[in-house]
Amino acid sequence: MRILPRLYSFRRCPYAMRARLGLLFAGCPVELREIILKSKPAPMLAISPKGTVPVLELPDGHVIEESREILEWALAQHDPAGLLDVDLSLAAGLLDQNDGDFKHWLDRYKYADRHPGMSQREYRLNGEVFLQKLEDLLTDRPYLLSDKVSIADIGIMPFVRQFAHVDRQTFYSLPYPKLQQWLQDWLEHPVFLQAMTKFEPWQEGDEVVMFPEG
């Protein structure tokens, strides 16, 4: 039996970012296998035929295939920063809205040419409904649910980042100054920078890559 869990990940995927952030905040080291989405490794597909990342294979053989479940699993093991010390029903509601309506509009905003039903601007405006909610939450505090980071922040930030990166100039011109500062702080946060460390794609026979390194 392996000692460490094994994480299949793709650096730029927001779901995989969420999982890596959770593991880092929890202090849960893993064996990392960075993949290429157009060439998914057979061992990953053998344990998770749906072929999406992240996938976490535990030492006992149990497989966790959803990023929120990986996030929750990691923080249930260890939560030294108290990311679960918030109203978890509020956190779950925000994550549901992020993963539902917001991700729906985000995908259409990012790939508007594939979805000709609306203009890119219309898709962006629909996505902004959630951005306004986040802005309101940040009015009197630095994080979404309290004065310190919570599971909601690390679960949502990768998706706001993706939304912003569709058109950075437009995003930073929008009337969400608190959210813009929150995102900028995250982009400079040492844990996020560690989560975004680049690794070579894994191939059969490679040496084990530890995450975090060292």
Per residue in 191-204, pLDDT (tens digit) is 999 999 999 999 99
Which tokens belong to 40? 């998914």
Largest CA distance in the chain: 52
In the predicted model, is pLDDT for residue 2 greater than 70? no
Q: With CA atoms as reference, report the closest residue to 90 among 133, 37, 36.
A: 133
| Rounded-to-integer distance, Cα 199 and Cα 32, Å | 9
CB 63 within 8 A of CB 8: no
DSSP label at residue 138: T
Number of helices (H), then strands (E), belonging to the chain: the values are 10, 5
Dihedral angle computed from the Cα positions of residues 176, 180, 186 and 187, in that order, rounded to the nearest 10 degrees: 150
* Residue pLDDT, tens place only, 149-176: 999 999 999 999 999 999 999 999 999 9
First vs last C-alpha separation in the chain: 22
> What b/e readout covers 76-106, taking b as 16+ CB neighbours within 10 angstroms?
eeebebebeebeeeebeebbebbbeebbebb
Per-residue pLDDT at 214: 64
Q: How confident is the model at residue 43 (pLDDT cuts 50, 70, 90)?
A: very high
Arithmetic mean of pLDDT over the chain:
97
Tokens 């929750």 sit on residue: 72
Treating both helix axes as pointing N-terminal to C-terminal, what angle do 120-137 and 151-166 enclose, rounded to 10 degrees?
150
Domains of the chain, with CATH numbers? Answer: 6-81+193-211 (3.40.30.10), 88-189 (1.20.1050.10)
